[in-house]
Chain A
Protein backbone atom coordinates (compact mmCIF):
# COMPACT_ATOMS: atom_id res chain seq x y z
CA UNK A 1 0.00 0.00 0.00
CA UNK A 2 1.59 3.23 -1.06
CA UNK A 3 1.49 5.96 1.57
CA UNK A 4 -0.31 8.48 -0.66
CA UNK A 5 -3.39 6.22 -0.78
CA UNK A 6 -3.48 6.35 2.99
CA UNK A 7 -3.38 10.17 2.87
CA UNK A 8 -6.94 10.13 1.61
CA UNK A 9 -7.98 7.38 3.98
CA UNK A 10 -10.60 7.95 6.61
CA UNK A 11 -10.71 5.98 9.83
CA UNK A 12 -14.03 4.96 11.28
CA UNK A 13 -14.98 2.91 14.28
CA UNK A 14 -17.53 0.24 13.54
CA UNK A 15 -19.07 -0.05 16.96
CA UNK A 16 -19.37 -0.07 19.87
CA UNK A 17 -22.51 2.00 19.22
CA UNK A 18 -23.37 0.73 15.74
CA UNK A 19 -26.58 -1.30 15.88
CA UNK A 20 -25.24 -4.34 14.09
CA UNK A 21 -21.90 -4.33 15.87
CA UNK A 22 -23.29 -6.01 19.04
CA UNK A 23 -21.34 -3.66 21.25
CA UNK A 24 -17.86 -4.46 19.99
CA UNK A 25 -15.52 -2.10 18.22
CA UNK A 26 -13.60 -2.61 15.01
CA UNK A 27 -11.40 0.13 13.56
CA UNK A 28 -11.73 0.34 9.78
CA UNK A 29 -9.53 2.38 7.45
CA UNK A 30 -11.41 3.31 4.30
CA UNK A 31 -10.28 4.66 0.96
CA UNK A 32 -13.46 5.70 -0.78
CA UNK A 33 -15.83 2.79 -0.28
CA UNK A 34 -13.10 0.17 0.09
CA UNK A 35 -11.70 -1.08 3.35
CA UNK A 36 -7.91 -1.13 3.29
CA UNK A 37 -7.27 -2.00 6.89
CA UNK A 38 -9.31 -3.71 9.58
CA UNK A 39 -8.23 -3.63 13.19
CA UNK A 40 -10.37 -5.73 15.55
CA UNK A 41 -10.34 -4.58 19.16
CA UNK A 42 -11.16 -7.03 21.89
CA UNK A 43 -11.72 -6.01 25.47
CA UNK A 44 -15.03 -4.17 25.61
CA UNK A 45 -16.79 -7.11 27.26
CA UNK A 46 -14.10 -8.30 29.60
CA UNK A 47 -15.52 -9.48 32.92
CA UNK A 48 -12.73 -11.76 34.23
CA UNK A 49 -14.71 -14.96 33.88
CA UNK A 50 -11.59 -17.06 34.35
CA UNK A 51 -10.76 -15.34 37.63
CA UNK A 52 -14.38 -15.69 38.77
CA UNK A 53 -14.12 -19.43 38.22
CA UNK A 54 -11.31 -19.60 40.77
CA UNK A 55 -13.74 -18.46 43.46
CA UNK A 56 -16.60 -20.84 42.65
CA UNK A 57 -16.77 -24.49 43.60
CA UNK A 58 -17.20 -27.21 41.01
CA UNK A 59 -20.98 -27.17 41.06
CA UNK A 60 -21.18 -23.39 40.77
CA UNK A 61 -18.60 -22.81 38.04
CA UNK A 62 -20.83 -23.72 35.15
CA UNK A 63 -23.16 -20.78 35.95
CA UNK A 64 -20.37 -18.39 35.03
CA UNK A 65 -19.70 -20.14 31.72
CA UNK A 66 -23.35 -19.95 30.76
CA UNK A 67 -23.34 -16.22 31.01
CA UNK A 68 -20.43 -15.84 28.60
CA UNK A 69 -22.57 -16.83 25.65
CA UNK A 70 -26.29 -16.69 26.33
CA UNK A 71 -27.23 -18.02 22.90
CA UNK A 72 -25.52 -21.36 23.42
CA UNK A 73 -25.73 -21.45 27.20
CA UNK A 74 -25.71 -25.20 27.59
CA UNK A 75 -23.00 -25.73 24.98
CA UNK A 76 -20.95 -23.16 26.87
CA UNK A 77 -21.36 -24.70 30.31
CA UNK A 78 -20.79 -28.28 29.20
CA UNK A 79 -16.97 -28.13 28.75
CA UNK A 80 -16.59 -27.13 32.41
CA UNK A 81 -18.65 -30.13 33.51
CA UNK A 82 -16.63 -32.37 31.17
CA UNK A 83 -13.37 -31.03 32.66
CA UNK A 84 -14.56 -31.76 36.21
CA UNK A 85 -15.60 -35.26 35.15
CA UNK A 86 -12.09 -35.86 33.79
CA UNK A 87 -10.54 -35.10 37.19
CA UNK A 88 -12.92 -37.06 39.38
CA UNK A 89 -14.19 -40.54 38.58
CA UNK A 90 -17.96 -40.44 38.13
CA UNK A 91 -20.34 -42.94 36.60
CA UNK A 92 -22.76 -41.12 34.33
CA UNK A 93 -25.99 -43.08 33.81
CA UNK A 94 -26.87 -43.95 30.24
CA UNK A 95 -30.05 -41.92 30.39
CA UNK A 96 -28.18 -38.79 31.45
CA UNK A 97 -25.69 -39.20 28.59
CA UNK A 98 -28.46 -39.29 26.01
CA UNK A 99 -30.37 -36.44 27.65
CA UNK A 100 -27.27 -34.28 27.64
CA UNK A 101 -26.65 -34.94 23.98
CA UNK A 102 -30.23 -34.15 23.04
CA UNK A 103 -30.08 -30.89 24.97
CA UNK A 104 -26.73 -29.94 23.41
CA UNK A 105 -28.16 -30.39 19.95
CA UNK A 106 -31.37 -28.62 20.89
CA UNK A 107 -29.30 -25.72 22.16
CA UNK A 108 -27.37 -25.67 18.90
CA UNK A 109 -30.66 -25.35 17.01
CA UNK A 110 -31.63 -22.44 19.24
CA UNK A 111 -28.36 -20.67 18.66
CA UNK A 112 -28.61 -21.11 14.90
CA UNK A 113 -32.20 -19.88 14.87
CA UNK A 114 -31.00 -16.73 16.57
CA UNK A 115 -28.15 -16.44 14.10
CA UNK A 116 -30.46 -16.71 11.07
CA UNK A 117 -32.45 -13.74 12.21
CA UNK A 118 -29.43 -11.75 13.25
CA UNK A 119 -27.57 -12.33 9.98
CA UNK A 120 -30.59 -11.47 7.84
CA UNK A 121 -31.18 -8.36 9.97
CA UNK A 122 -27.60 -7.24 9.51
CA UNK A 123 -28.08 -7.43 5.76
CA UNK A 124 -31.31 -5.45 5.96
CA UNK A 125 -33.88 -8.26 5.56
CA UNK A 126 -36.04 -7.26 8.50
CA UNK A 127 -38.90 -9.71 7.90
CA UNK A 128 -36.37 -12.48 8.15
CA UNK A 129 -35.03 -10.94 11.34
CA UNK A 130 -38.24 -11.70 13.20
CA UNK A 131 -39.47 -14.92 11.64
CA UNK A 132 -36.81 -17.27 13.01
CA UNK A 133 -37.11 -15.48 16.34
CA UNK A 134 -40.80 -16.35 16.50
CA UNK A 135 -39.82 -20.01 16.07
CA UNK A 136 -37.09 -19.57 18.61
CA UNK A 137 -39.77 -18.73 21.19
CA UNK A 138 -41.06 -22.30 20.90
CA UNK A 139 -37.57 -23.61 21.54
CA UNK A 140 -37.23 -21.35 24.57
CA UNK A 141 -40.63 -22.51 25.83
CA UNK A 142 -39.35 -26.09 25.76
CA UNK A 143 -36.21 -25.07 27.71
CA UNK A 144 -38.38 -23.28 30.23
CA UNK A 145 -40.63 -26.28 30.68
CA UNK A 146 -37.65 -28.51 31.41
CA UNK A 147 -35.32 -26.33 33.45
CA UNK A 148 -37.38 -23.33 34.55
CA UNK A 149 -35.21 -20.83 32.74
CA UNK A 150 -35.35 -19.70 29.15
CA UNK A 151 -31.72 -18.97 28.36
CA UNK A 152 -29.42 -19.89 31.19
CA UNK A 153 -30.56 -23.45 31.54
CA UNK A 154 -28.01 -24.74 34.14
CA UNK A 155 -28.95 -28.20 33.01
CA UNK A 156 -25.92 -30.43 33.52
CA UNK A 157 -24.10 -31.01 36.77
CA UNK A 158 -21.02 -33.18 37.36
CA UNK A 159 -22.32 -36.74 37.40
CA UNK A 160 -25.45 -36.31 35.33
CA UNK A 161 -28.21 -33.82 34.70
CA UNK A 162 -30.42 -31.85 37.06
CA UNK A 163 -33.92 -32.24 35.66
CA UNK A 164 -35.65 -35.25 34.15
CA UNK A 165 -37.55 -35.10 30.86
CA UNK A 166 -41.29 -34.87 31.45
CA UNK A 167 -44.15 -35.68 29.03
CA UNK A 168 -44.88 -31.93 28.88
CA UNK A 169 -41.30 -31.23 27.83
CA UNK A 170 -41.45 -33.94 25.18
CA UNK A 171 -44.63 -32.36 23.80
CA UNK A 172 -43.08 -28.88 23.72
CA UNK A 173 -39.89 -30.16 22.14
CA UNK A 174 -41.97 -31.91 19.49
CA UNK A 175 -43.72 -28.61 18.70
CA UNK A 176 -40.43 -26.70 18.55
CA UNK A 177 -38.67 -29.24 16.34
CA UNK A 178 -41.59 -29.72 13.96
CA UNK A 179 -41.76 -25.95 13.65
CA UNK A 180 -38.09 -25.83 12.67
CA UNK A 181 -38.56 -28.63 10.13
CA UNK A 182 -41.64 -26.97 8.68
CA UNK A 183 -40.02 -23.56 8.29
CA UNK A 184 -36.58 -24.61 7.04
CA UNK A 185 -37.66 -24.64 3.36
CA UNK A 186 -39.28 -21.20 3.80
CA UNK A 187 -36.11 -19.70 5.24
CA UNK A 188 -34.00 -21.46 2.67
CA UNK A 189 -36.14 -19.87 -0.01
CA UNK A 190 -36.00 -16.45 1.64
CA UNK A 191 -32.23 -16.44 2.03
CA UNK A 192 -30.63 -18.79 -0.48
CA UNK A 193 -33.41 -18.29 -3.02
CA UNK A 194 -33.36 -14.51 -2.86
CA UNK A 195 -31.32 -12.85 -5.66
CA UNK A 196 -30.63 -9.79 -3.47
CA UNK A 197 -29.29 -11.91 -0.69
CA UNK A 198 -27.10 -13.92 -3.04
CA UNK A 199 -25.69 -10.75 -4.58
CA UNK A 200 -24.70 -9.51 -1.15
CA UNK A 201 -23.11 -12.74 0.07
CA UNK A 202 -21.68 -14.61 -2.91
CA UNK A 203 -17.97 -14.03 -3.43
CA UNK A 204 -17.83 -11.88 -0.31
CA UNK A 205 -15.32 -12.55 2.44
CA UNK A 206 -13.81 -15.71 1.11
CA UNK A 207 -10.83 -17.62 2.42
CA UNK A 208 -9.22 -20.96 1.66
CA UNK A 209 -9.19 -24.06 3.83
CA UNK A 210 -5.45 -23.62 4.36
CA UNK A 211 -5.92 -20.10 5.66
CA UNK A 212 -8.76 -21.21 7.92
CA UNK A 213 -6.54 -23.88 9.47
CA UNK A 214 -3.75 -21.35 9.92
CA UNK A 215 -6.01 -18.85 11.67
CA UNK A 216 -7.42 -21.53 13.96
CA UNK A 217 -11.01 -21.33 12.77
CA UNK A 218 -13.25 -24.21 13.75
CA UNK A 219 -16.85 -25.34 13.58
CA UNK A 220 -19.06 -24.27 10.66
CA UNK A 221 -16.47 -21.74 9.48
CA UNK A 222 -14.04 -24.51 8.56
CA UNK A 223 -16.62 -27.11 7.55
CA UNK A 224 -17.87 -24.61 4.96
CA UNK A 225 -14.49 -25.06 3.19
CA UNK A 226 -15.19 -28.76 2.86
CA UNK A 227 -13.02 -29.98 5.75
CA UNK A 228 -15.00 -32.47 7.89
CA UNK A 229 -13.47 -31.32 11.17
CA UNK A 230 -15.94 -32.02 13.93
CA UNK A 231 -15.17 -32.84 17.56
CA UNK A 232 -18.37 -34.83 17.90
CA UNK A 233 -16.87 -37.33 15.43
CA UNK A 234 -13.11 -36.84 15.89
CA UNK A 235 -13.00 -37.00 19.68
CA UNK A 236 -16.35 -38.29 20.97
CA UNK A 237 -16.81 -37.49 24.66
CA UNK A 238 -17.40 -40.77 26.57
CA UNK A 239 -20.05 -38.98 28.63
CA UNK A 240 -22.09 -38.01 25.59
CA UNK A 241 -24.02 -40.24 23.21
CA UNK A 242 -22.64 -39.25 19.80
CA UNK A 243 -20.96 -42.63 19.43
CA UNK A 244 -24.22 -44.55 19.87
CA UNK A 245 -25.71 -43.51 16.54
CA UNK A 246 -24.75 -43.17 12.91
CA UNK A 247 -24.55 -39.66 11.55
CA UNK A 248 -22.59 -37.69 8.99
CA UNK A 249 -20.47 -34.60 9.52
CA UNK A 250 -22.05 -31.90 7.33
CA UNK A 251 -19.70 -30.07 4.96
CA UNK A 252 -20.20 -27.66 2.10
CA UNK A 253 -18.36 -27.97 -1.20
CA UNK A 254 -18.28 -24.94 -3.41
CA UNK A 255 -18.28 -26.17 -7.01
CA UNK A 256 -16.81 -22.98 -8.44
CA UNK A 257 -13.85 -22.69 -6.13
CA UNK A 258 -13.28 -25.94 -4.23
CA UNK A 259 -11.48 -25.71 -0.92
CA UNK A 260 -12.63 -22.13 -0.38
CA UNK A 261 -15.71 -20.61 1.13
CA UNK A 262 -17.55 -17.30 0.99
CA UNK A 263 -20.31 -15.83 3.14
CA UNK A 264 -22.96 -17.71 1.18
CA UNK A 265 -21.26 -21.09 1.75
CA UNK A 266 -21.12 -20.38 5.45
CA UNK A 267 -24.86 -19.73 5.39
CA UNK A 268 -25.49 -23.04 3.62
CA UNK A 269 -23.23 -24.77 6.11
CA UNK A 270 -25.29 -23.51 9.01
CA UNK A 271 -28.47 -24.78 7.37
CA UNK A 272 -26.83 -28.18 7.20
CA UNK A 273 -25.82 -27.94 10.86
CA UNK A 274 -29.48 -27.60 11.82
CA UNK A 275 -30.41 -30.58 9.67
CA UNK A 276 -27.70 -32.66 11.35
CA UNK A 277 -28.87 -31.60 14.81
CA UNK A 278 -32.46 -32.55 13.97
CA UNK A 279 -31.22 -35.88 12.66
CA UNK A 280 -29.21 -36.60 15.81
CA UNK A 281 -32.14 -35.74 18.09
CA UNK A 282 -34.51 -37.91 16.05
CA UNK A 283 -32.15 -40.85 16.27
CA UNK A 284 -31.42 -40.44 19.99
CA UNK A 285 -34.98 -39.99 21.29
CA UNK A 286 -36.04 -43.65 20.76
CA UNK A 287 -32.85 -44.83 22.51
CA UNK A 288 -33.73 -43.02 25.76
CA UNK A 289 -33.72 -45.72 28.48
CA UNK A 290 -35.42 -45.59 31.86
CA UNK A 291 -33.28 -45.16 34.93
CA UNK A 292 -31.48 -42.64 37.13
CA UNK A 293 -30.30 -39.31 35.75
CA UNK A 294 -27.40 -38.66 38.10
CA UNK A 295 -24.64 -40.61 39.81
CA UNK A 296 -25.87 -40.83 43.44
CA UNK A 297 -22.34 -40.31 44.80
CA UNK A 298 -21.70 -37.25 42.63
CA UNK A 299 -22.56 -34.65 45.24
CA UNK A 300 -20.15 -36.04 47.81
CA UNK A 301 -17.38 -36.69 45.31
CA UNK A 302 -17.43 -33.24 43.75
CA UNK A 303 -17.17 -31.43 47.08
CA UNK A 304 -13.41 -31.90 47.16
CA UNK A 305 -11.44 -32.89 44.09
CA UNK A 306 -8.07 -34.69 43.99
CA UNK A 307 -5.04 -33.03 42.44
CA UNK A 308 -5.16 -33.15 38.68
CA UNK A 309 -5.83 -31.52 35.37
CA UNK A 310 -8.96 -31.75 33.29
CA UNK A 311 -9.60 -30.60 29.78
CA UNK A 312 -13.18 -30.65 28.55
CA UNK A 313 -14.22 -29.66 25.09
CA UNK A 314 -17.28 -29.72 22.92
CA UNK A 315 -18.18 -28.77 19.37
CA UNK A 316 -20.15 -25.58 19.92
CA UNK A 317 -22.31 -23.74 17.43
CA UNK A 318 -19.47 -21.39 16.60
CA UNK A 319 -16.59 -23.85 16.90
CA UNK A 320 -14.52 -25.69 19.46
CA UNK A 321 -15.29 -24.57 22.99
CA UNK A 322 -13.08 -25.83 25.77
CA UNK A 323 -12.19 -25.37 29.42
CA UNK A 324 -9.00 -26.42 31.14
CA UNK A 325 -8.96 -26.83 34.91
CA UNK A 326 -6.09 -27.41 37.30
CA UNK A 327 -6.82 -28.47 40.85
CA UNK A 328 -4.68 -28.92 43.93
CA UNK A 329 -5.09 -31.69 46.52
CA UNK A 330 -8.54 -31.66 48.20
CA UNK A 331 -9.50 -28.62 46.19
CA UNK A 332 -12.86 -26.95 46.65
CA UNK A 333 -12.23 -24.53 43.81
CA UNK A 334 -10.00 -24.71 40.71
CA UNK A 335 -6.47 -23.43 41.16
CA UNK A 336 -6.52 -22.12 37.61
CA UNK A 337 -9.16 -22.20 34.88
CA UNK A 338 -8.68 -21.39 31.22
CA UNK A 339 -11.51 -20.87 28.78
CA UNK A 340 -10.97 -21.25 25.06
CA UNK A 341 -13.76 -19.67 23.07
CA UNK A 342 -14.26 -20.29 19.36
CA UNK A 343 -14.78 -16.65 18.39
CA UNK A 344 -11.41 -15.12 19.22
CA UNK A 345 -10.02 -16.82 16.13
CA UNK A 346 -12.93 -15.85 13.91
CA UNK A 347 -12.92 -12.22 15.12
CA UNK A 348 -9.21 -11.70 14.54
CA UNK A 349 -9.37 -13.44 11.17
CA UNK A 350 -11.38 -10.39 10.03
CA UNK A 351 -8.02 -8.65 9.90
CA UNK A 352 -7.07 -10.81 6.93
CA UNK A 353 -10.48 -11.39 5.33
CA UNK A 354 -11.86 -7.86 5.26
CA UNK A 355 -9.18 -5.71 3.49
CA UNK A 356 -10.21 -5.21 -0.11
CA UNK A 357 -13.91 -5.58 0.58
CA UNK A 358 -16.43 -2.78 0.26
CA UNK A 359 -17.72 -1.16 3.40
CA UNK A 360 -21.29 -2.35 2.75
CA UNK A 361 -20.02 -5.96 2.68
CA UNK A 362 -18.55 -5.74 6.15
CA UNK A 363 -21.74 -6.82 7.99
CA UNK A 364 -22.07 -9.75 5.57
CA UNK A 365 -18.54 -10.88 6.36
CA UNK A 366 -18.61 -10.69 10.12
CA UNK A 367 -22.22 -11.89 10.31
CA UNK A 368 -21.36 -15.00 8.34
CA UNK A 369 -18.49 -15.79 10.73
CA UNK A 370 -20.97 -15.62 13.63
CA UNK A 371 -18.71 -14.06 16.25
CA UNK A 372 -20.03 -13.48 19.75
CA UNK A 373 -18.18 -10.94 21.90
CA UNK A 374 -18.46 -12.95 25.11
CA UNK A 375 -16.14 -15.57 23.67
CA UNK A 376 -13.15 -13.34 23.05
CA UNK A 377 -13.55 -11.20 26.15
CA UNK A 378 -14.08 -13.94 28.67
Chain B
Protein backbone atom coordinates (compact mmCIF):
# COMPACT_ATOMS: atom_id res chain seq x y z
CA UNK B 1 0.00 0.00 0.00
CA UNK B 2 1.73 3.11 -1.15
CA UNK B 3 0.45 6.57 -1.83
CA UNK B 4 -1.83 5.27 -4.61
CA UNK B 5 -3.44 2.79 -2.25
CA UNK B 6 -4.37 5.57 0.15
CA UNK B 7 -5.68 7.83 -2.61
CA UNK B 8 -9.24 6.67 -2.07
CA UNK B 9 -9.08 7.58 1.63
CA UNK B 10 -7.52 10.95 0.87
CA UNK B 11 -10.34 11.77 -1.57
CA UNK B 12 -12.91 10.75 1.01
CA UNK B 13 -11.37 13.04 3.59
CA UNK B 14 -11.13 15.91 1.12
CA UNK B 15 -14.79 15.46 0.17
CA UNK B 16 -15.80 15.77 3.83
CA UNK B 17 -13.56 18.78 4.35
CA UNK B 18 -14.99 20.65 1.36
CA UNK B 19 -18.55 19.80 2.33
CA UNK B 20 -18.05 21.10 5.84
CA UNK B 21 -16.30 24.28 4.67
CA UNK B 22 -19.16 25.36 2.43
CA UNK B 23 -21.97 24.24 4.69
CA UNK B 24 -23.94 26.54 6.94
CA UNK B 25 -22.56 26.15 10.48
CA UNK B 26 -24.66 24.40 13.10
CA UNK B 27 -24.00 27.17 15.60
CA UNK B 28 -25.83 30.50 15.69
CA UNK B 29 -24.14 33.82 15.11
CA UNK B 30 -25.45 34.84 18.46
CA UNK B 31 -26.06 38.54 19.00
CA UNK B 32 -27.45 38.87 15.47
CA UNK B 33 -29.48 35.70 15.35
CA UNK B 34 -31.09 33.51 17.93
CA UNK B 35 -32.73 30.14 18.08
CA UNK B 36 -36.52 29.95 18.19
CA UNK B 37 -37.81 29.35 21.70
CA UNK B 38 -40.92 27.29 22.45
CA UNK B 39 -43.94 29.10 23.80
CA UNK B 40 -43.59 27.42 27.17
CA UNK B 41 -40.06 28.76 27.76
CA UNK B 42 -39.63 29.99 31.30
CA UNK B 43 -37.79 33.23 30.67
CA UNK B 44 -38.22 36.65 32.31
CA UNK B 45 -41.71 37.52 33.52
CA UNK B 46 -44.28 40.00 32.39
CA UNK B 47 -46.75 41.45 34.88
CA UNK B 48 -50.11 42.61 33.58
CA UNK B 49 -51.21 45.20 36.11
CA UNK B 50 -54.74 45.63 34.78
CA UNK B 51 -55.59 42.10 35.91
CA UNK B 52 -53.56 41.97 39.12
CA UNK B 53 -55.52 41.91 42.39
CA UNK B 54 -52.59 42.30 44.82
CA UNK B 55 -53.33 38.89 46.33
CA UNK B 56 -49.60 38.20 46.83
CA UNK B 57 -49.92 34.51 45.99
CA UNK B 58 -46.96 34.81 43.65
CA UNK B 59 -44.82 36.22 46.46
CA UNK B 60 -45.77 33.35 48.75
CA UNK B 61 -45.14 30.69 46.12
CA UNK B 62 -41.61 31.81 45.30
CA UNK B 63 -39.09 29.37 46.82
CA UNK B 64 -36.22 31.88 46.79
CA UNK B 65 -38.05 35.07 47.80
CA UNK B 66 -37.25 36.80 44.52
CA UNK B 67 -40.46 38.87 44.38
CA UNK B 68 -41.17 41.95 46.44
CA UNK B 69 -44.64 43.45 46.48
CA UNK B 70 -45.61 47.08 47.01
CA UNK B 71 -49.35 47.28 47.67
CA UNK B 72 -49.36 51.10 48.07
CA UNK B 73 -48.24 51.71 44.50
CA UNK B 74 -51.55 51.57 42.62
CA UNK B 75 -52.06 52.40 38.96
CA UNK B 76 -55.47 50.79 38.58
CA UNK B 77 -58.19 49.90 41.06
CA UNK B 78 -56.71 46.95 43.00
CA UNK B 79 -53.33 46.28 41.47
CA UNK B 80 -49.89 46.41 43.04
CA UNK B 81 -46.29 46.93 41.98
CA UNK B 82 -44.02 43.88 41.79
CA UNK B 83 -40.23 43.95 41.92
CA UNK B 84 -38.49 40.89 40.47
CA UNK B 85 -34.94 40.24 41.58
CA UNK B 86 -33.33 38.26 38.76
CA UNK B 87 -30.18 37.72 40.74
CA UNK B 88 -32.28 35.36 42.89
CA UNK B 89 -34.90 33.98 40.53
CA UNK B 90 -34.38 30.35 39.48
CA UNK B 91 -37.14 30.39 36.81
CA UNK B 92 -39.09 27.60 38.43
CA UNK B 93 -42.48 28.81 37.20
CA UNK B 94 -44.21 28.56 40.58
CA UNK B 95 -45.28 32.20 40.72
CA UNK B 96 -46.94 31.95 37.32
CA UNK B 97 -48.87 28.81 38.24
CA UNK B 98 -49.84 30.38 41.58
CA UNK B 99 -51.44 33.46 39.97
CA UNK B 100 -55.13 32.69 39.45
CA UNK B 101 -55.96 36.01 37.80
CA UNK B 102 -53.81 35.60 34.68
CA UNK B 103 -51.73 38.58 35.62
CA UNK B 104 -48.27 37.03 35.56
CA UNK B 105 -46.58 35.16 32.71
CA UNK B 106 -43.21 33.96 31.58
CA UNK B 107 -41.83 35.27 28.30
CA UNK B 108 -39.36 33.47 26.04
CA UNK B 109 -36.70 36.14 26.71
CA UNK B 110 -33.83 34.40 28.46
CA UNK B 111 -30.83 36.63 27.77
CA UNK B 112 -31.15 39.16 30.55
CA UNK B 113 -27.55 39.71 31.56
CA UNK B 114 -26.61 43.20 32.72
CA UNK B 115 -23.41 44.99 33.62
CA UNK B 116 -24.69 46.16 36.97
CA UNK B 117 -26.34 44.14 39.71
CA UNK B 118 -28.98 46.83 40.33
CA UNK B 119 -30.20 46.58 36.74
CA UNK B 120 -31.24 43.00 37.33
CA UNK B 121 -33.90 44.06 39.81
CA UNK B 122 -36.83 44.67 37.50
CA UNK B 123 -39.05 47.37 38.95
CA UNK B 124 -42.70 48.00 38.01
CA UNK B 125 -41.73 49.87 34.81
CA UNK B 126 -39.48 47.17 33.45
CA UNK B 127 -41.54 44.13 34.45
CA UNK B 128 -44.74 45.35 32.81
CA UNK B 129 -43.19 45.99 29.39
CA UNK B 130 -41.19 44.02 26.85
CA UNK B 131 -38.36 45.94 25.27
CA UNK B 132 -38.35 43.67 22.23
CA UNK B 133 -40.41 41.02 20.54
CA UNK B 134 -39.35 37.68 21.95
CA UNK B 135 -40.81 35.33 19.38
CA UNK B 136 -39.22 36.80 16.27
CA UNK B 137 -35.78 35.90 15.08
CA UNK B 138 -33.69 38.98 15.50
CA UNK B 139 -31.28 39.99 12.76
CA UNK B 140 -30.26 37.78 9.89
CA UNK B 141 -28.83 34.37 9.24
CA UNK B 142 -25.05 34.61 9.15
CA UNK B 143 -24.78 32.43 6.07
Where the two chains meet, the residues of A that have a C-beta atom closer than 8 Å to any C-beta of B are 56, 59-60, 63-64, 67, 144-149, 152, 154, 162-163, 168
Contact = CB atoms under 8 A, between A and B. Distances in A.
Q: Could you say which interface size class chain B belongs to? A: 10 to 19
A162 B42 CA distance: 13
A60 B63 CA distance: 6
B38 A145 contact: yes
Interface string B63-97: 10000000000000000000000000011111001
Contact of B38 (A56, A63, A168): A168
Contacts of A149: 41-42, 91, 93
A145 B40 contact: yes
Given A149-B91, A152-B90, A154-B93, A63 B41 contact: no
B38 A144 contact: yes
A148 B63 contact: no
22 contacts: A56-B63, A59-B94, A60-B61, A63-B90, A63-B92, A67-B90, A144-B37, A144-B38, A144-B40, A144-B41, A146-B40, A147-B42, A148-B38, A148-B40, A148-B41, A148-B93, A148-B106, A149-B42, A149-B93, A152-B90, A154-B93, A163-B40
A63 B65 CA distance: 13
Contacts of B38: 144-145, 148, 168
Contacts of B97: 162
A154 B40 contact: no
Interface string B37-64: 1101110000000000000000001010
Contact of A147 (B37, B40, B63, B90): B40
Nearest to B62: A60
Nearest to A141: B38
Nearest to A60: B63
Contacts of A145: 38, 40
Nearest to B108: A148
Interface in B21-44: 37-38, 40-42
Given A64-B63, A149-B41, 19 more contacts: A60-B94, A63-B63, A63-B90, A67-B90, A144-B37, A144-B40, A144-B41, A145-B40, A147-B93, A148-B40, A148-B42, A148-B106, A149-B42, A149-B93, A152-B91, A152-B92, A154-B92, A163-B40, A168-B38
Contacts of B61: 59-60
B93 to A, nearest CB: 6
A56 B38 CA distance: 30
A96 B48 CA distance: 31
Contacts of A67: 90
Q: Name which of A60, A146, A162, A168 has the most chain B CB atoms within 10 A of its CB.
A: A60
B104 to A, nearest CB: 14
B96 to A, nearest CB: 9
Contacts of B91: 149, 152
Nearest to A142: B38
Which 10 A-B residue pairs are closest in the complex by CB-CB distance? A60-B63, A148-B42, A148-B40, A145-B38, A63-B92, A148-B41, A63-B63, A149-B42, A154-B92, A56-B63
Contacts of A163: 40
- Which residue among B37, B61, B97 has the maximum number of chain A CB atoms within 10 Å of its CB? B97
Contacts of B42: 147-149
Contacts of A64: 63
Contacts of B90: 63, 67, 152
A375 B90 CA distance: 20
A215 B61 CA distance: 41
Contacts of A59: 61, 94
A148 B37 CA distance: 9
A136 to B, nearest CB: 14
Pick from B91, B93, B97, B106 the residue with the most CB of A within 10 Å: B93
Contacts of A146: 40
